Amino acid sequence: MRRLCVAAAIVLAACAAPVTASRPSATPQSRASPWSSASPLPDAGQDAIPGPAGMTLRQEIGAVMMVGFKGGLSAAVVEDWRQHQFGGLIVVPSNQNAKDPPAIRQLIQSIRGAMAHPVLVATNQEGGTVCFPETQVPCLAGARQVGSRGPAAVQSDMTTMSQPLKALGFDINLAPVADVWNGMHPVLSERSYGREAAVVAQDVRAAIAGIHAAGIDASVEWAGGDLSPLRAAAAAHTDLVMIGALGVPALDASLTASAMRTLRSSLGYQGVVISHDLEVTPAGSQPPSVAALAFLEGGGDMVIVGHHLDVADATYDAIHAAVLSGAYSRAQLDASVQKLLTLGLRFMP
C-alpha cells in the first residue's frame, strides 16, 4: 500500500446556509488489537491531551465516526455536528436529506462549515439497484451486468458514476463489492461481479481504478469471503475496506471479528477499515454503541451510524467512556485518527 505523509488538520470553512431550528432525528432505541495497549486514563482531564494534528480527545472520538441523519438540514443538526465533530458524513437516499444536486451540495458545505478538521463525505453509487437518484448521477448497470462486458467497461462505468459525485462534494464512493457470489443471498447476486474469484478480482481492481480516475476514494465492501478480490483491491490501492453484512444475515459480530483478523493478520492490510452501517443489523444483534466499541477495539478505524443522531451521540459517549476507562486505548485511537486525516487529504486540491 502506498504511504502518504500525515499533514496537519485543515479547517474547511464553507459558509453554512441559514437553517431553521428543529430537533435532531430520533429513533425509539437509542479482542485482540494490532496496536499496543495504553495505560487506563484516570479521569476526564485527559480530554485536553492533544493527539494527531493537535486534536483533542473528543475531536478524535468524533473523527472515527461516520454519521448520517434523517430529514433536511436544521440548526439543531448543525449544532450537533459542531459539538461532536464527526469525521465522516454519509448521505444516502433513505435519509431524505435533500431533493436535488444543489441541495445536496449545500448540505455538504454546511456540515463542513461546522468542522474544525477534514470531514469525509460518502455515498454508495454502484449502479444497478444501488444508486442515489437525487444526485442525478447516471445510474449505470450493476456489477453482474457490467462485469460480463469486461474490466474496461467496469472501469469506465465507475468513472462515469463517480465524477459527478466529486462535483457535488463527495470524497468516497462506498464501492465496489469484493465478494464472490456463491449462488445464495439474492442481494449479492447483482452486487458481486460474479461467481469466479479471478474474474471478480480483476473487476474489483478495475472498479477501484475507475473511482480513483474520478478523483475520489474507493471503499471495497467485503463480507469475509474469498481473499483473492481483496488482495486485488489492496494491489489497486483501495483507500478503505468496509467489513459489512451486505445483506447476508449470517455475518454476525463474531464473524465480523474473524473477518477483521483475516484482513489484518492473514492479509497484512494496515489501511483504513470501516464498519458497515451499525444501525442496519439483524434483529437481536448488539446495539450500535456496543457493536462500535467491539469493532474499534478489534482493530477497526471508523464506524458508521447512518440514520439517527441520537444513536450516533450515544455511540460517541460510549467510545469516550471506553477511552477514559482504558478499554479502548488512546494509542489505538490516535493511530486510527492519523490514518483518517491522511485519507482526508488524499484527493484534496
pLDDT of residue 349: 45
33 and 283 in contact (C-beta within 8 Å)?
no
Whether omega for the bond prior to residue 249 falls within 30 degrees of 0, making it cis, is no
Q: What percent of the chain has pLDDT over 90?
A: 66
pTM reported for the whole predicted model? 0.84
Cα–Cα distances in angstroms (integers) from residue 101 to residues 121, 167, 196, in the given order? 15, 10, 38
120 and 89 in contact (C-beta within 8 Å)?
yes
Q: Looking at residues 196-203, what average pLDDT do you find?
A: 96
Compute the distance between CA of residue 232 and CA of residue 199 in angstroms, rounded to an integer. Answer: 11
Q: What percent of the chain has pLDDT over 70?
A: 81
Cβ-Cβ contacts under 8 Å for 335 (sequence gap 6 or more) = 35
Compute the distance between CA of residue 136 and CA of residue 157 in angstroms, rounded to an integer. Answer: 15
Q: Looking at residues 313-333, what average pLDDT do you find?
A: 95
What's the chain's average pLDDT? Answer: 84
Give 147-171 pLDDT, tens digit per residue.
Answer: 999 999 999 999 999 999 999 999 9
pLDDT band at residue 6, thresholds of 50, 70 and 90? Answer: very low
pLDDT band at residue 182, thresholds of 50, 70 and 90? Answer: confident
pLDDT band at residue 282, thresholds of 50, 70 and 90? Answer: low
pLDDT at position 223 over 90: no
pLDDT of residue 347: 61
Compute the distance between CA of residue 291 and CA of residue 279 in angstroms, rounded to an integer. Answer: 10
Give 49-86 pLDDT, tens digit per residue.
Answer: 888 888 999 999 999 999 999 999 999 999 999 999 99
Lowest-pLDDT choice from 34-43, 64-73, 148-157, 208-217: 34-43
Compute the distance between CA of residue 142 and CA of residue 134 in angstroms, rounded to an integer. Answer: 18
Lowest-pLDDT choice from 107-116, 149-158, 238-247: 238-247
